[in-house]
Amino acid sequence: MFRPHVTVACVVHADDKFLIVEETINGKALWNQPAGHLEANETLADAAARELWEETGIQARPQHFIRMHHWIAPDNTPFLRFLFSIELNQACATEPHDDDIDRCRWLSAEEILSAPNLRSPLVAESIRCWQSGERYPLALIGAFNWPFTEGVK
């Protein structure tokens, strides 16, 4: 059976800048969107909000769904990556709670798109999707009969 990794990521935008997390992998500082794996007992939007808080210290919920990328990493690991957008009123201070994150940076689209140290090509592709105006209601990927929310019988 085919079992891809399910991940979430957030394009966080404020003041014409995008929030990037920096982590050191194999001795190299790499950039990514706040992102991570879907965990048991959470919706995709819940996972995105949790990852955002863990990696940046920012408490915010996704406002829109941008796109789902089906991607095969260079090591042949398959992924389904659900991309969300969050628009903040202004760039804010960050405080990562995840020990794997070295720091966060607010960068222009140009800085990200031309960077040689992106964790994967999906980082740049996510910015391009955001720039194209792709935004869909969160209900597009809504949970059905979700047992972990109030009111389900």
The fold adopted by the segment(s) 5-141 is: Nucleoside Triphosphate Pyrophosphohydrolase (3.90.79)
The C-alpha angle with vertex 60 and arms to 63 and 5, in degrees rounded to 5, equals 75
pLDDT digits (tens, 9 = 90+) for 133-150: 989 999 999 887 777 665
Nearest to 30 by CA among 112, 110, 91: 112
Delimit the domains of the chain by residue range: 5-141
Pairwise CA distance, residues 10 & 88, whole Å: 12
151 pLDDT above the threshold of 60: no
Q: Which structure tokens are listed for 93? A: 């201070």
Q: pLDDT grade, residue 59 (50/70/90)?
A: very high
Contact indicator for 64, 135 with CB cutoff of 8 Å: yes
pLDDT digits (tens, 9 = 90+) for 12-57: 999 999 999 999 999 999 999 999 999 988 999 999 999 999 999 9
